[in-house]
Amino acid sequence: MTIEQISVFVENAPGRLLEIMETLGNAGIDLRALSIGDTARFGVLRLIVKDPQKAVTVLRAADYVISVTPVLAVSLEDTPGSLVKILRLLSDAAITVEYLYAFAARKKNSAYVVFRVEDNALASAVLESGGVKVAGAAEIYDALS
């Protein structure tokens, strides 16, 4: 089970992030989670939103370069060390994590971690067989609203 992440190219210039946020805000897009990967020269903004299709349409119309990537979301207990178990499972299966970011859920006393790996199906199977539940889109959007 995967959820859709929208990535947006961000030029390294003052006000670029603000412009993107305004574009989304004006279109009534609700952000669920956000992270930025960056170099000295540019950044990649990664978003989880409730209505990915609408966000894609709005961003494309405003001439942003974007991509939609399926990523894995895993729910964790909001306690110290809970991420270790998951990383251990992936590491033992020789799965490289390209990047990850975490966010706290509003309704439950839990957190979610979003993983970007090369092979989602393989990573899902490894996690499930290790007793880690991979969250679906409905759960994520519900947990976050």
Partner 1 sequence: MRMEGLVSPDSSRRGRSLEAVHYTQGNLWKNALFGYGEAMKYFQPDRECASYDAMRQLQSERFVKTVRHAYDAVPFYRESMAKKGLTPEDIRSLDDLSKLPFLSKDDLRESYPYGLLAVPRSRVVRIQSTSGTTGKRVVAFYTQTDIERWDECCARAIVAAGGSRDDVVHVSYGYGLFTGGPGLNGGSHKLGSMTLPMSSGNTERQIQFMCDLGSTILCCTPSYAAYLAESVMQQGVRDKIALKAGIFGAEAWSEEMRRDIEDKLGIKAYDIYGLTEISGPGVSFECSEQTGMHINEDYFAAEIIDPHTGEVLPDGSKGELVLTTIAKEAFPILRYRTRDICVLSRKPCSCGRTLLKMGRLMGRTDDMLIIRGVNVFPSQIETVLLKGGYSPNYLIIVDRVNHSDTFEVQVELTPEMFSDTVRKIAARESELLASMRSMLGISPKVTLVAPRSIARSEGKAVRVIDKRKI
| Residues 31-70: x where in contact with partner 1 by CB under 8 A, - otherwise, as a string | ------xxx-xxxx-x----------------xxxxx-x-
Q: Which residues pair with 37 in a beta bridge?
A: 44
Instruction: Return the number of the residue (32 or 116) whose C-beta is nearest partner 1.
Output: 116
- Subset of residues 76 to 105 that bind partner 1, contact rule: CB under 8 A: 98-99
Can residue 119 be called a binding residue for partner 1 (CB under 8 A)? no
Amino acid found at 10 = V
Q: How many helices (H) and strands (E) does the chain have?
A: 5, 7
Cα angle 111, 112, 117 (rounded to 5 degrees) comes to 150
CA pair distance 19, 53, nearest whole angstrom: 19
Q: State the first-to-last Cα distance of the chain, in angstroms, to the nearest integer.
A: 20
Can residue 23 be called a binding residue for partner 1 (CB under 8 A)? no
Among 2, 5, 23, 75, binds partner 1 (CB under 8 A): 5
Minimum distance between the CB of residue 45 and partner 1, rounded to whole angstroms? 10
Which residues contribute to the site for partner 1 (CB under 8 A)? 5, 7, 9, 11-12, 37-39, 41-44, 46, 63-67, 69, 98-99, 116
